[in-house]
């Protein structure tokens, strides 16, 4: 789960990390009021879960009321890479002499947390990592002991942070690590951490992405979750609790287990088709979930053909078959041809139950995918 | 022979009194697995699925001489259950639980690195030696005894590949579902090492997927230290790049890693054929035997 | 530093461990008021840092006002093994069916914390440990990971705690461990943890001894420190910041470093003398500390002779010598003969400075101790 | 030869800009110790006692190839300094600091157990190889080069025993003050092992004191695994039993252990003579040579 910038900044500020004065606003008038209260110049920043907001027009600087109103007009309500901007953060612009980068994440390869500091912040830090990796100091953290204070200092000194702020930056990094750990974050980031003329440091942006699996122990964070998809299908998937990604093709795909669904997509592609979506109904899927899954792919106007691929471990083939029958018998006419392939636990029982007047049945994955691709081609032709 | 588990493995089921724990304990026993006990705090003295339940893993080991456990404990309590299993010095711990917080697993794996225990998973279907024992939730009926080792990050995809093998009469020594979580106990390399050391395993099928660098590291291992032939499947060639807001993860992993292309190239460079379909993987394996 | 029972109980209760209702009282009237408020029967418990309070008459049970007044009269103001009782805890008596023991301490041999549970609480637990060690379940804790919940449960089950309270007892043990760790305790103990008829658990006593070296990060605990010595010399040692123990002999001993002072005591004994005290002036001792140390041994009426043994590492012999000269030149007549032995850093300079009209000087430890013992014998004869 | 330190040991002083750190760095250098750097956060670029100061131990190692450190950092920051030293993989860390919280030291020692570093102390006078190097606060002038190893829990008592030896012309290979805290890095056994392995050490003097069971364990080691003769002194025969309120510590240590009597008996049983006076220890040592 990704927190919005304003939410993450609130948490950072509560933990003692300096942040600019700011106000959240949801209307143009609120934005202008905020500007007047904060004093110019201010930045107006779209609060959406999108990288590269600035380049996409989601961040503007305003030096007076008119500019601010114009910026608010432009940003509020815009569609930013598929997300609807319904709120902006209005924030005092910070005069800086240096921009640093601080980040904490899990180093999956090492199986341990890593803290990172760069004196080349404020830019595309991934490019820095690629082109001049030595410009980013990394400090692996032993999860049994947590980050020692000396490690924060070491990373700061190795990154060549200006000496007059090294102590302040180390302190921010310690706090950032503590937040990363205590909030069960996957990533905690400040880019840039601005260094002012006066030798102060200010977090001008804030990222806090939280491990979904740990939300059960952070009800306060879970409550912050708000998606603002412009895509109806993705919102629907959220409601149904499916792992769903919409793609550009016309073969709808339903399966159980991320690996198997991915493999099904790959096979659609392999046999010359074009996947319309990724939809994992998960393990032990009951009839209702099957119905919901069919509802989703049928709702997608791009979908011309559907392949339903279930390999039962926990999931039982007979249960899935009943779900498919139930879902499809509601239609006078099946909206899109559905190929079903059941294997594993109770697969043969399932195959027997399946109503072949509603669906096409195939025994192998390869056959099922090929038939669905053929169905889609038929519709298109 | 086999790796990790066989008919002599004495299994304790952690979380046996829960719905899933009970169901799969029964399934494991039905398959012939030597399930000797359950362990659930506060339920000591009960009997579930025909085996005695103890309050602690320690007690299950003392009373029933268990040497392996399967963990069905819910995510919030799973790390504690894994520490209990590790601290009791079992030979093998198979963690089925899905949804364990990543930081919990980092701590568990830190402890694991100091022990001689094999941890498989979490978020995995388990380990099976066909005809001898299964520890986990794999559908036993699709497996057959034979000479191919199988290791996979995915659950249902594993079943698919196994099905392709079994259907053409190719049985398995042992199949290991290592799980797809960011931090897992047994890596591809760990599993490949086990198969390489097993004289009965004549070929290995490995199923990877996008994300992480485990497959790339496995390719390096196969190229330099492994004689047993390997064929692979990599899921996710057509998967779109995920949406991210933070960059820290990308800095650490580096760009261009973790893609299907990077994994397939690494495996091909190591002489490992990567099938376009599960059937093709079975073709390659059949060619090895 | 040892907290009083009432202080430890307050901390335990704040952390969620059930404790009996109680009130602190410093006068007989307050005690009786407390009894009336709490309802009878109540226990009156002397708040002093002494083991075996009960046997020594420091705990009484009262079932009505008269008994309570009598108990308060007896306990308040009493001298309990050298401590003046100036406050008592008045506490609701608990009806129990079982008494358990819980404790957490540092296992010095293993270099790790250990949590302990016994179902034979309420008695002299050290005797239990000696006679039936298997009656105490011990669980070593890895300091890198802290105590896992399963460890608390395991200790409780292994100790044979009644099953109906095993969950509650494990929870108390987890809290006790957390307190031990978070308060930098050396020992945290509940003996007994009473089990009531209704299956509740109640901490009927509470011990929390805190690592003196960690008090800098626990100012709240440091503020709780209150000694109530009846011995003036020990109070004075506290004021001067000396490590001091009063003994029964007549040879006063001053030295630097606990090992060397102990060795000096041993030598006094070896040569037939009887040590009057242990007094370590510590490393790098300045002149003022030397003066204070001499003041202390001279103040002890039992002391007939003094040996001053300094081996300089950080401590400089010339500085010590000046301190001795200063301290002794204040007297018209030196109250007790003082033998000085200086060695190590600047020892020869120190020997030259020493005023031999005030002190006797010896070169070796053995000679110095023998002379001090002889001086003491002379005074006695 | 010698143990732990010699003229080639390259020393970084952690906390060199503090009063004690600076004074003793100067003393160490005057003694001939190869002090190559100081390490104090925020003081990088300064020069103290004639050596460069770095912000981190890591940098001191990188720039000056230090392989040992002496720690004069105040108690509140000492554990962090020790972790820094351990994580930098120094061969030897000598912790002079007195008053480090016991729980901090338990955590440090947990990390220590995973490294190859020798930690001496804390709350110790240090380590000296006479004529070559001293790391710590020991008064160099009382030591002389020779063939007797010395290990002691006490500071000034060490000096006393050394003085008795030196005064009769008996020099030392190395003297190790292991410190008297409840949790220390180098135990008697660790030090005795080093001396046992050192061909030049012909006899060992050990100074123990009441409390703990380190001396008893050392006696067992001497009896079963040590050829080099040992003579001992145990301080605290006449010490009164401490006043305690809690019992947990006593349960763990057991009654009757940690007393001078228990230690002297254990040592005597192991064939180690225990002197009634420091002079008697010197007598025994002289007899061995």
Query: What is the structure's pLDDT at D49?
Result: 95
Query: What is the structure's pLDDT at A84?
Result: 86
**Nearest residue of A to residue C145 by CA position?**
A144
Instruction: Give the separation between CA C292 and CA C311, rounded to whole angstroms.
Output: 18
Cβ of residue B56 closer than 8 Å to a chain C Cβ: yes
Chain C positions in Cβ-Cβ contact with residue D159 (cut-off 8 Å): 260, 311-313, 343-344
Strand partners, B70: B13, B94
Q: How far is B80 from chain A (nearest CA, A)?
A: 14
Cβ contact (<8 Å) for D107 and A154?
no
> Could you tell me which residues come within 8 angstroms of residue C229 by beta carbon, excluding any fewer than 6 positions away?
C82, C83, C84, C235, C238
Instruction: Give the closest residue to A243 by CA, choosing from A313, A296, A314.
Output: A296
Q: With the CA atoms of B255, B257, B259 and B263 taken in that order, what torsion angle do they form, in degrees rounded to the nearest 10?
A: 160
Phi, psi angle pair for B132, to nearest 5°: -115, -60
Task: Categorize the per-residue pLDDT at B254 as very low, low, confident or very high, splitting at 50, 70 and 90.
Answer: low
Query: What is the structure's pLDDT at D255?
Result: 61
Instruction: Give the separation between CA D136 and CA C97, rounded to whole angstroms.
Output: 58
Q: Is position B56 annotated in a ligand binding site?
A: no
| A72 has pLDDT over 80 | yes
Q: Among B42-46, C39-43, D211-215, D229-233, which is the least confidently predicted range?
A: D211-215
Looking at per-residue pLDDT, the higher value among C288 and A149 belongs to A149
In C197-316, alpha helices (H): 219-222, 232-240, 258-270, 287-299
Instruction: Give the separation between CA A298 and CA D175, rounded to whole angstroms.
Output: 83
Cβ contact (<8 Å) for D56 and A148?
no
Query: What is the structure's pLDDT at B241?
Result: 63
| D241 has pLDDT over 70 | no
Query: What is the structure's pLDDT at C308?
Result: 93
Query: What is the structure's pLDDT at B267?
Result: 97
Cβ contact (<8 Å) for B42 and C149?
no
Instruction: Give the separation between CA D187 and CA D204, rounded to whole angstroms.
Output: 15
Q: How far is A100 from chain D (nearest CA, A)?
A: 19
| A347 has pLDDT over 60 | yes
Q: What is the pLDDT of residues C60-81, one digit of tens each?
A: 999 999 999 999 999 999 988 8
Q: Known catalytic residue: C189?
A: yes
Query: What is the structure's pLDDT at C138?
Result: 96
Q: Known catalytic residue: C234?
A: no
Give the mean pLDDT of chain D: 93
Chain C contact probe: residue of D111, D245, D264, D283 with most C CBs at under 10 A: D245
Instruction: Give the separation between CA D78 and CA D42, rounded to whole angstroms.
Output: 16
Using a 10 angstrom Cβ sphere, with 0-12 exposed, 13-18 middle and 19 or more buried, the burial of residue B224 is exposed
The annotation places the binding site of C for substrate at 256, 313-315
What average pLDDT does range A240-256 have in this prediction?
A: 90
With contact defined as beta carbons under 8 Å apart, do B197 and B221 qualify?
Answer: no
Greatest mean pLDDT among C355-369, D63-77, D148-162 lies in D63-77
Q: Among A125-129, A195-199, A322-326, D217-221, which is the least confidently predicted range?
A: A125-129
Instruction: Give the separation between CA C354 and CA C351, rounded to whole angstroms.
Output: 5
Query: What is the structure's pLDDT at A226?
Result: 67
With contact defined as beta carbons under 8 Å apart, do A304 and A379 qualify?
Answer: yes
| C320 has pLDDT over 90 | no
Task: Categorize the per-residue pLDDT at C289 as very low, low, confident or very high, splitting at 50, 70 and 90.
Answer: confident
Instruction: Give the separation between CA A112 and CA A114, rounded to whole angstroms.
Output: 7
Q: What is the pLDDT of residues D103-161, one digit of tens each?
A: 999 999 999 999 999 999 999 999 999 999 999 999 999 999 999 999 999 888 999 99
Q: How far is D125 from chain C (nearest CA, A)?
A: 8
Task: Categorize the per-residue pLDDT at C226 as very low, low, confident or very high, splitting at 50, 70 and 90.
Answer: low
Cβ contact (<8 Å) for D83 and A145?
yes
The verdict on pTM exceeding 0.90 is yes
Cβ of residue B265 closer than 8 Å to a chain C Cβ: no
Using a 10 angstrom Cβ sphere, with 0-12 exposed, 13-18 middle and 19 or more buried, the burial of residue B176 is buried
Looking at per-residue pLDDT, the higher value among B223 and C133 belongs to B223
Q: What sign has the CA pseudo-torsion D35, D36, D41, D44?
A: positive
What average pLDDT does range C223-251 have in this prediction?
A: 80
Cβ contact (<8 Å) for C344 and D183?
no
Looking at per-residue pLDDT, the higher value among D64 and A132 belongs to D64
Residue A339's CB is within 10 A of a number of other CB atoms, namely 23
Chains that touch C (3 or more CB pairs under 8 A): A, B, D
Chains that touch D (3 or more CB pairs under 8 A): A, C
> Could you tell me which residues come within 8 angstroms of residue D152 by beta carbon, excluding any fewer than 6 positions away?
C259, D158, D161, D175, D176, D177, D178, D206, D207, D208
| B243 has pLDDT over 80 | no
With contact defined as beta carbons under 8 Å apart, do B112 and B119 qualify?
Answer: yes
| C282 has pLDDT over 70 | yes
Residue A235's CB is within 10 A of a number of other CB atoms, namely 13
Q: Return the active site residues of A.
A: 101, 189
Chain A contact probe: residue of C112, C144, C148, C217 with most A CBs at under 10 A: C144
Q: Where are the beta strands (DSSP E) in D72-157?
A: 92-95, 118-120, 126-129, 133-136, 145-152
Q: How far is B108 from chain A (nearest CA, A)?
A: 9
Cβ contact (<8 Å) for A145 and D107?
yes
Phi, psi angle pair for C58, to nearest 5°: -90, 0
> Could you tell me which residues come within 8 angstroms of residue D43 by beta carbon, excluding any fewer than 6 positions away?
D17, D53, D55
Strand partners, A311: A343
Catalytic residue among D58, D118, D247, D284: D247
> Which stretch of DSSP H or E encloses residue D123?
none
With contact defined as beta carbons under 8 Å apart, do A145 and A127 qualify?
Answer: no
Cβ contact (<8 Å) for B107 and C145?
yes
Query: What is the structure's pLDDT at C287?
Result: 77
Instruction: Give the closest residue to C343 by CA, choosing from C378, C315, C324.
Output: C315
Instruction: Give the closest residue to C283 by CA, choosing from A333, D129, A276, D138.
Output: D138
Report helix, strand or coil for A89: strand
Chain C positions in Cβ-Cβ contact with residue A144 (cut-off 8 Å): 144-145
Cβ of residue B74 closer than 8 Å to a chain A Cβ: no
Instruction: Give the separation between CA C170 and CA C189, rounded to whole angstroms.
Output: 14
Q: What was the ipTM of the complex prediction?
A: 0.93
Query: What is the structure's pLDDT at A112?
Result: 96
| B208 has pLDDT over 80 | yes
* A28-38 helix and A65-75 helix, angle to the nearest 10 degrees: 140
| C370 has pLDDT over 70 | yes
Q: How far is A36 from chain B (nearest CA, A)?
A: 30
In chain B, alpha helices (H): 19-31, 57-64, 75-87, 102-112, 156-167, 188-197, 214-225, 248-253, 260-269, 278-288
Cβ contact (<8 Å) for A313 and B156?
yes
Cβ contact (<8 Å) for A154 and D80?
no
Instruction: Give the separation between CA A293 and CA A253, rounded to whole angstroms.
Output: 10
Query: What is the structure's pLDDT at C81?
Result: 80
Cβ of residue B98 closer than 8 Å to a chain C Cβ: no
Q: How far is A141 from chain C (nearest CA, A)?
A: 13
pLDDT over 90 percentage in chain D:
86
Instruction: Give the separation between CA A211 and CA A228, rounded to whole angstroms.
Output: 20
Query: What is the structure's pLDDT at C122?
Result: 82
Chains that touch A (3 or more CB pairs under 8 A): B, C, D
Interface of B with A in 141-200 (CB under 8 A): 141-142, 152-160, 163, 180, 182-183
Looking at per-residue pLDDT, the higher value among C344 and B268 belongs to B268
Cβ of residue B125 closer than 8 Å to a chain A Cβ: yes
Cβ contact (<8 Å) for B83 and C157?
no
What average pLDDT does range C154-174 have in this prediction?
A: 96
Cβ contact (<8 Å) for C145 and B111?
yes
* C149-158 helix and C166-182 helix, angle to the nearest 10 degrees: 130
Phi, psi angle pair for D35, to nearest 5°: -75, 120
Nearest by CB to B246, from A187, A214, A313: name it. Answer: A187
Residues in chain D: 289
Query: What is the structure's pLDDT at D144?
Result: 97
Q: Is position D220 annotated in a ligand binding site?
A: no
Residue A374's CB is within 10 A of a number of other CB atoms, namely 15
In D32-101, alpha helices (H): 57-64, 75-87
Q: Is position B134 annotated in a ligand binding site?
A: no
Cβ of residue D114 closer than 8 Å to a chain C Cβ: no
Query: What is the structure's pLDDT at A130?
Result: 83
| A287 has pLDDT over 80 | no
Query: What is the structure's pLDDT at C129?
Result: 83
What average pLDDT does range A104-114 have in this prediction?
A: 94
Interface of B with C in 28-47 (CB under 8 A): 41-42, 44
Cβ contact (<8 Å) for B80 and C167?
no
Report helix, strand or coil for A137: strand
Q: What is the pLDDT of residues C96-112, one digit of tens each?
A: 999 999 999 999 889 99
Q: Is position A140 annotated in a ligand binding site?
A: no
Nearest by CB to A148, from D44, D58, D80: name it. Answer: D80
């Amino acid at each position: 789960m990704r927190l919005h910038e304003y939410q993450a900044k609130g948490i950072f500020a509560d933990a003692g990390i300096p942040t600019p004065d700011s106000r959240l606003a949801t209307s143009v008038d609120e934005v202008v009021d905020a500007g007047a209260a904060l004093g110019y110049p201010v930045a107006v920043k779209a609060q959406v879960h999108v990288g590269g907001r600035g380049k996409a027009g989601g961040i503007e600087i305003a030096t007076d009321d008119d500019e601010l109103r114009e910026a608010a007009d432009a940003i509020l309500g815009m569609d930013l890479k598929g997300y609807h901007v319904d709120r902006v953060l209005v924030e005092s612009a910070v005069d800086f002499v240096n921009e640093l980068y601080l980040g904490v994440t899990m180093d999956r390869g090492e199986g341990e947390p890593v803290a990172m500091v760069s004196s080349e912040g404020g830019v595309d830090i991934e490019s820095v990592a690629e082109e001049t990796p030595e410009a980013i100091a990394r400090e692996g953290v032993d999860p049994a002991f947590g980050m020692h204070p000396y490690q924060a200092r070491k990373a700061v000194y190795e990154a060549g942070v200006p000496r007059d702020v090294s102590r302040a930056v180390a302190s921010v990094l310690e706090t950032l690590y503590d937040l990363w750990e205590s909030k069960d974050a996957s990533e905690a980031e400040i880019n840039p951490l601005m260094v002012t003329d006066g030798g102060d440091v200010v977090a001008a942006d804030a990222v806090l992405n939280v491990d979904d699996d740990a939300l059960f122990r952070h009800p306060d964070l879970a409550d912050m979750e708000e998606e603002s998809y412009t895509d109806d299908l993705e919102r629907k998937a959220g409601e149904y609790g499916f792992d769903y990604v919409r793609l550009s093709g016309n073969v709808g795909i339903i399966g159980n287990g991320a690996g198997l669904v991915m493999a099904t997509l790959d096979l659609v592609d392999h046999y010359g088709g074009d996947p319309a979506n990724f939809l994992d109904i998960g393990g032990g899927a009951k009839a209702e979930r099957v119905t919901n899954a069919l509802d989703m792919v049928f709702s997608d106007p791009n979908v011309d053909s559907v392949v339903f691929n279930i390999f039962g471990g926990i999931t039982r083939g007979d249960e899935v078959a009943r779900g498919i029958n139930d879902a499809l018998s509601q239609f006078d006419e099946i909206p899109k041809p559905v190929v079903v392939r059941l294997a594993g636990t109770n697969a043969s029982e399932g195959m027997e139950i399946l109503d072949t007047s509603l669906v096409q049945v195939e025994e192998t994955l390869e056959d099922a995918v090929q038939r669905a691709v053929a169905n889609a081609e038929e519709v298109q032709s | 022979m086999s790796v990790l588990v066989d008919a002599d493995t004495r299994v304790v089921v952690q979380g046996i009194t829960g719905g899933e724990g009970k169901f799969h304990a029964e399934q494991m026993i039905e398959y012939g697995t030597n399930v000797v006990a359950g362990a659930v705090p506060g339920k000591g003295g009960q009997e579930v699925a025909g085996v005695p339940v103890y309050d602690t893993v320690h007690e299950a080991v003392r009373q029933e001489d268990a040497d392996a456990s399967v963990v069905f404990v819910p995510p919030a309590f799973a790390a504690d259950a894994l520490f209990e299993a590790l601290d009791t010095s079992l030979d093998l711990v198979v963690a089925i639980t899905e949804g364990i917080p990543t930081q919990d697993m980092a701590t568990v794996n830190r402890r694991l690195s100091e022990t001689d225990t094999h941890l498989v998973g979490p978020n995995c279907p388990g380990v099976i030696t066909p005809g001898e024992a299964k520890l986990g939730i794999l559908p036993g009926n699709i497996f057959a005894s034979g000479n191919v080792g199988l290791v996979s990050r995915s659950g249902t995809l594993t079943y698919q590949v196994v099905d392709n093998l079994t259907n053409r009469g190719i049985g398995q020594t042992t199949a290991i579902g290592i799980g797809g979580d960011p931090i897992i106990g047994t890596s591809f390399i760990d599993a490949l090492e086990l198969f390489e050391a097993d004289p009965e395993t004549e070929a290995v099928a490995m199923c990877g997927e996008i994300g992480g660098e485990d497959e790339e590291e496995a390719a390096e291992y196969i190229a330099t230290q492994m004689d047993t032939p390997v064929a692979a499947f990599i899921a996710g060639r057509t998967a779109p790049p995920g949406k991210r807001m933070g960059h820290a993860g990308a800095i650490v992993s580096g760009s261009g890693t973790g893609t299907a292309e990077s994994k397939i190239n690494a495996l091909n460079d190591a002489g490992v054929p990567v099938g376009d379909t599960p059937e093709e993987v079975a073709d390659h394996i059949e060619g090895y035997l």
